[in-house]
Every structure is written in C-alpha cells, then in structure tokens.
DNA sequence: TAAGATAATATGCATGCACATATTTGCCTG
DNA sequence: CAGGCAAATATGTGCATGCATATTATCTTA
C-alpha cells in the first residue's frame, strides 16, 4: 500500500507529507489525532508526535493544543540559509582564500548606524575595511564596525592572519542579530576594489549582532559581480 | 546556582548553551555524554538528548555516534528566512496590494532553464509576466514558467484575480526546491516597469520548485529599488 | 440570558527502558 | 606488521505511560 516503511518517524513523516501534497487532507483541514494516527500506523504516539513536530517546524502543518493539527493554508515558504564564514565558502569552491586589511582605525560611529547600533555618542568604535579574495580575485568587500565596549579584546587583535569575521565568531559569541540582503550599484571605490565596472549591480549583505542588549558588530559585505546566494527549500 | 530551571528540555538547553558561550566548554572540546549530563541534571537521558538535538540542529554542537558530542569550532551562522507571499508582505506594510498580468502565453522553455527545469524538449510551458504593486507603486516584477505537465489546472486559471504565486501555493504544493538571491541591473524594460532609472541595482530572487522529481515552476522576482530582505538570527 | 466556573479533551512534555546503528578501539590472526 | 574482525561505546530511535497545559465545551449561578 504505502511505499515508505512507516515504522520509523521519518517514514511516517513521508507518508503524512504524501497525504498533504496529494490533497488527501485539504489545506486548512484538520487531520486525525496523534492517537488515531498512531493506531493506524501501528506505532507509539510518541513516534507520530515526532513526525508531526517535524512537519510543524517546516511550516506544513499548524498545531495548537486542544485544537488539533491542521494542514497549513498557505505553507509559509521557509528557507534556512547558512551564512558561511567566507573562507569556508571560498575553500568549498576549491579556490584558495586570502584576505587583506585595507583600513583600520578608531572613529565615531557613523550617524547612519546610530539607530540600530546603540553606543555612547562619544565612544569610538573600531572600523575595519577589508577585501576577501578567492584565487587572488576579489570575492567580497567588507566594512565593519566593532563595539569595543563589548569586545575589548578586538583592539589587540590584528585581523591580518585571521579575518574579523572568524575572530568574532570565535571570541564574541552573539545571542541574536539582524540580517538584511539588498542590491547596490558599484561606486568608484567599490568598482576599483572588486574589479567591476562602475555602476555594476552588486549583491550585499548587512548584519548586526548582539550579545544580550549590547551590540557587538555591524558588518556590510558586498560581493563581486555574479554572486548568487543559494539555498534549498 | 543556575538560573534556568533545568527540569525541562529547554531549561537544559539554556544551561548547555550558557556553558558553550561562556567557554566552560571550549570550541572543539568534547562535552560529557548524554548519560552523564542526565545524571548531573537529574533527568532522563531522553531529555538531555532532546536538548542536544536542538543545539545540534542550530549548529552549535556537532554530534557523531560513538564519537560523542563536541562544541562546534565555528558555529555556522544559520538564518531562517520566510519568503512571504507578496500580497501578505505588502499588506503587512500597511499598503494595498494589487497585481497585473502583463503577458501570458504558451512557449517553449528558454534554453537557459533546460538544465534545472527538465521538461520534454518539445513541450510548451505556460509563461507569465506580471507586476506587483504596493499602493499603486511598482513593488516587484515577476517572470514565471509553469510546467503544465505537472500542473494542468494552471492552463484554465486566469491569474488575474489571484496571483500565480498564490494560486500555486494553494494548488500545487511542492516537496522541495532551490532558491537563489542576487543583484542585477535594470535594463530598459525593467526600468520602465519598476519606475527605476536604467542601470539601477535591483534585488532579485529566483526559485524553482518540484513535486517529487517533476518541476512545477520557475519564478524570477525582481524588486523595486531599495528593497531589503530582512531576517532575524 | 449572560457571565463565570468547571469539566473534557488533544497536544506537549517528561520518564524509563530497550534495541538499533555507527564508529572507534583493540585484539587477533596470517 | 598489515589487515580484518569483534567488542565496546555513544548516540539515534522506538515504545508505553503518565502528567502538564492550553483550549474548547458544558454546566452552574446570579
């Protein structure tokens, strides 16, 4: 009858998924209780629970206590994308990674970041400007501000051997943050750094991370032309 | 001693997390076995297992059978981003949504997609070109190919009242797909459609979805200037 | 009749146990 | 010493059960 062996929670998940995409259970419709499903599949309720939890996590079903489980009306298209450390991303492509620090100084935080990045108005932050290479070709341009109040150790770090990104993930774990992707045109500086014609459309990523309430760092990465950020859904 | 109550799996997860970010357990270091942790916390091994599974899922620890659990060397930065239905995204901004279908015809699949989108070489696919508005200002431009072999019902749908995206999520659930983000320059057509100067850098998203092995649709969305895709991490 | 208290119910979570599976370690043999 | 087999071990998974909790339905009371 069913092709998947239903005596493992993944098997049960596949079968449930089959019924959902096969419209055996309509969107918005309530599906049988865990207990009923457990009886049908001849397994423990725990096992059905595991399968349903997994489906709920991916957004295909919506679960509410007492109200039961129902098929999501419009399955929210969730994608988990892993933002790799650039070095690993480049090396995974079979190319050699290298980065160079272009600028490094202490300066006040630019006004543009005052809203999102709350530091005392007179405090200086560590500014870093660097370029990441893959096989000696520019791969990404990075501008970063580091809050020395939360990461005092950054002042002593050189960031020559190890990139700021890697140094931070290893020395200043964050609790949460914000991430944004957008497009921008290469200005003259970017054009020179990334070896792109002026005005070329570039893919950019901005990230702020926090440890609790304290901002750690603000980073803007601008990738060389042709970059695509991919993921599976 | 510990602030979190450790008699729930989330509490145990928090405590483990605290030890990881607090460098009680160094990156790369092996942490105690499930059984030992269970004894320490005075709970069942299952409960520890649940907490560790969760941490492994978010990439903070790496688990291997027999080899044990160790703290990830460089915690991969994972972000789950939800790709909303455009109508919902626009309405969430408090603006009114509208879309218009610019073109609709049957045509052979463009050669560029032959690799990723496997349909019989002589089969026609449904091509849709449309524009999404927020408050009567262009919000995103969409080009889409629909495989009629897997979604025959699409031929009868008008896509005037309901957008292709919404129609598809409700009528052709997908099992998996690929997603890519990138930047491109506005050509003359895009420039006119999106009310942007020619050459403006635009944020674009490409998506292919499948039902099993069968491709369902290929969509390319190009957003109006200034668009930022955000998420929390 | 309306509002609040109470019971019923479905899912969420925890426990203890057993067995499966993968991987390392070390022994054993040729 | 090399190669391979086997035991030890840590995690992965399943099962049966009970309690916790949130939500709905029902009953009681003013």
CATH 3.30.450.190 fits B9-71, yes or no: no
Q: Which residues lie below 8 Å from residue A162, measured CB to CB, with a gap of 6+?
A: none
Amino acid A1: pLDDT: 40
Lowest pLDDT segment from A7-11, A134-138, B179-183? A7-11
Size of interface A-B (CB pairs under 8 A): 152
Q: Give the pLDDT band (50/70/90) at residue A139.
A: very high
Which chain B residues in 7-36 sit with Cβ < 7 A of strand D?
A: 33-35
User: Is the CB atom of residue B49 positioned under 7 angstroms from any atom of strand C?
Assistant: no
Amino acid B7: pLDDT: 64
Mutate which: A15, A54, A181, A185, vs B, most B CBs within 10 A: A181
Number of neighbours of residue B230 by Cβ within 10 angstroms? 12
> Which residue bears the tokens 């403006």?
B200
CA distance B111 to A220: 36
**What mean pLDDT is predicted for residues A211-215?**
85
Nucleotide closest to residue B37 (CA–C1'): D10
Bases of chain C with protein Cβ within 7 A? 8-18, 21-24
Highest average pLDDT, of A163-177, A182-196, B10-24, comes from A182-196
Amino acid B57: pLDDT: 80
In this prediction the ipTM stands at 0.77
Q: Which CATH superfamily is domain A86-223 in?
A: Chorismate lyase-like (3.40.1410.10)
Check whether B1 has a pLDDT greater than 50: no
Check whether A3 has a pLDDT greater than 70: no
CA distance B72 to B20: 9
Domain ranges of chain A: 9-71, 86-223
Residue in chain B lying closest to A85 (CA): B76
Bases of chain D with protein Cβ within 7 A? 8-18, 21-24
Q: Give the pLDDT band (50/70/90) at residue A72.
A: confident
CA neighbor of A123 nearest in space, from A149, A143, A145, A155: A149
Model confidence pLDDT, tens digit, residues B76-130: 777 878 787 899 899 989 999 999 999 999 999 999 898 888 888 888 999 999 9
Name which residue leads in pLDDT, B23 or B127: B127
Amino acid A61: pLDDT: 87
Check whether B219 has a pLDDT greater than 60: yes
Residue nearest to nucleotide D12 (CA to C1'): B65
Check whether A145 has a pLDDT greater than 90: yes
**What mean pLDDT is predicted for residues A63-87?**
80
Q: Is beta strand A229-232 parallel, antiparallel or unpaired with respect to B176-185?
A: antiparallel
CA distance B210 to B137: 32
Number of neighbours of residue B110 by Cβ within 10 angstroms? 13
Amino acid A23: pLDDT: 80
Check whether A4 has a pLDDT greater than 50: no
């Amino acid at each position: 009858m069913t092709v998947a062996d239903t005596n493992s929670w993944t098997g049960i998940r596949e079968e449930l998924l089959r019924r959902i995409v096969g419209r055996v259970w309509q969107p918005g419709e309530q599906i049988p209780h865990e207990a009923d499903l457990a009886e049908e599949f001849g397994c423990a309720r725990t096992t059905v629970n595991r399968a349903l939890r997994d489906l709920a996590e991916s957004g295909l079903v919506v679960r509410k206590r007492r109200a039961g489980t129902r098929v999501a009306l419009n399955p929210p298209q969730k994608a988990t994308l892993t933002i790799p450390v650039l070095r690993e991303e480049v090396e995974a492509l079979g190319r050699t990674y290298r980065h160079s620090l272009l600028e490094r100084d202490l300066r006040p935080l630019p006004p543009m970041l005052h809203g999102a990045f709350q530091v005392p108005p007179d405090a200086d932050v560590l500014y870093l400007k660097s370029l990441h290479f893959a096989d000696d070709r520019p791969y990404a341009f990075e501008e970063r501000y580091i809050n020395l109040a939360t990461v005092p150790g950054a002042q002593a770090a050189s960031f020559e051997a190890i990139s700021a990104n890697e140094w931070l993930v290893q020395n200043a774990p964050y609790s949460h943050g914000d991430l944004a992707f957008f497009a921008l045109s290469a200005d003259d500086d970017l054009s020179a750094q990334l070896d792109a014609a002026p005005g070329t459309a570039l893919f950019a990523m901005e990230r702020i991370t926090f440890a609790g309430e304290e901002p750690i760092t603000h980073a803007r990465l601008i990738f060389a032309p042709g970059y695509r950020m991919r993921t599976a859904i």
